[in-house]
Structure 1
C-alpha cells in the first residue's frame, strides 16, 4: 500500500513539474494612460529618478526608504538604488536608453527579497488631450516564478501598481501644467504692463511743452 501511495505521489509531482515547466518562459506586463500634459513634461517625470518619489506606486509603502542616486543627473547613465522594508525590498534601476519625449528603457535589478533582473520601458506618444504613456515590464520566468504564476496572476497583481503609478503621475503633471500656465500668464501680464508703461512714458514725453532756449 505504501509503495502505491509513493508511486502515486511521485506521479503527481512529475505532472506538477511538467505543468510548471510548460508555463511561458517570458512575461510582459503593460499598462497605458493618457495624461493631460505635454510630452516633455511627462517624459521628465520618468527620465529623472529624483522625481519618482512623487508618483511611484511603491514609494509610499515605506516612508523611511533609503534612496541613493549616482551616475548621470538624469537620462542615460542615471542610477537609482533603494533599500527599505519587506514591502519595497532592495534594488537598483539604471537608465540604459533615453530618447527625449519618446522613450526610456530601464534595467531593473531586484536584490531583496529575491534576485532577478527585468527591463522596464516607458513610451510617450502625443495624442489629442495630452500624452499617451505606455509603461511595460518584461523578463524571463525561472522555475520558481513559473510555479508562483500558477497561484497568482502577476499581470493583475503588478498591473494594479502600474495603473496606480500612472494615476499618480497624472496628478503630478496636472499640477505642473497648472504651474506652467500660471507662470506664463504672469510673464505675459508683466510684459503687457511694461509695454503700457513704456507707451505712457513716451506719450507723456511727446506732449511736454518745449523748453525755451536762452538767447545768445
Structure 2
C-alpha cells in the first residue's frame, strides 16, 4: 500500500516539475522597469549624484536591500567609463557608465556573468524641478529558469529603483538647500575691515 502511494507521489511530483520547467521555458527572458520622480533641485546636483559612483552610497538603496553587499570603485569613478563592482551573499556584478550628456546617462551592468542589464537615467529640467526617469531593460540567461528569474528580477528592481529614486530626491534636495544656505550665509556675513 505504501509503495503504491510513493510511486503515485513520485509520478505526481515529476509531472509537476516537468510542467514547471515547460512553463518556465515559455516565459519571456526579458524584463523592463521604468520609474520617474520629480526632484526640487538643480539638474547639476542630481546629475553629479548619479554620475559619480563615489557618491552612490549617499542615496543607493542596495546597502539596505542587501546588507552583505560590498562595493569596489574602479577608475575613473565618475563620468563616461566610470566603473563599480560589487560582491554579496547573493552574488557579484559590475556596472559601467557608457554615455553621459547634459540630460542623460546610460549604463550597462552584468550580474554573475550571465544576467545583462542596460539602463538609462534622464534628467529633464522643468521650471525649478528636475524630472528624473530611470529605465532598465534586462535579460536573464540561466538555463530552464530564466523566465522565473526575469519575473523576480523585474519585481525586485521595480521596488529597488523606486526606493533609490526616493532616496535620490531626499539627498539632492537637502544638498541644494545646504548650498543655498551656505551661499546666503556668505552674503549676510559682515565684511572684514
**What is the TM-score when the length of structure 1 is the normalising length?**
0.72
Counterpart-to-counterpart distance in 2, 1:12 and 1:62: 32
Are 1:49 and 2:60 counterparts? no
**Match for residue 29 of structure 1?**
33
**Match for residue 64 of structure 2?**
60
Q: CA RMSD in A?
A: 3.1
Structure with larger RCO (C-alpha < 8 A, sep 6+): 2
Aligned residues: 186
Cα deviation for residue 182 of structure 1 reads 1.1
Describe the superposition over 1:26-75 as per-residue Cα deviations: whole angstroms up to 9, x where unpaired: 21111110011111110111100001111111123455643322222311
**Match for residue 132 of structure 1?**
131
1:60-209 equivalence runs, <5 A: 60-61=64-65, 65-84=69-88, 86-87=89-90, 89-100=91-102, 102-111=103-112, 115-142=114-141, 143-148=144-149, 154-190=153-189, 193-194=190-191
Q: Which moved more, 1:153-162 or 1:170-179?
A: 153-162
Following TM superposition, where does structure 1 have runs of at least 4 consecutive aligned residues deviating by more than 6 angstroms? 5-14
SS at match of 1:27: strand
**What is the TM-score when the length of structure 2 is the normalising length?**
0.79
SS at match of 1:132: strand
Q: Name stretches of at least 5 consecutive residues in structure 1 with no aligned partner.
A: 199-216
Cα deviation for residue 15 of structure 1 reads 5.5
Q: Name stretches of at least 5 consecutive residues in structure 2 with no aligned partner.
A: none
For the pair shown, the structure with the greater C-alpha radius of gyration is 1
Cα deviation for residue 16 of structure 1 reads 4.7
Counterpart-to-counterpart distance in 1, 2:84 and 2:67: 17
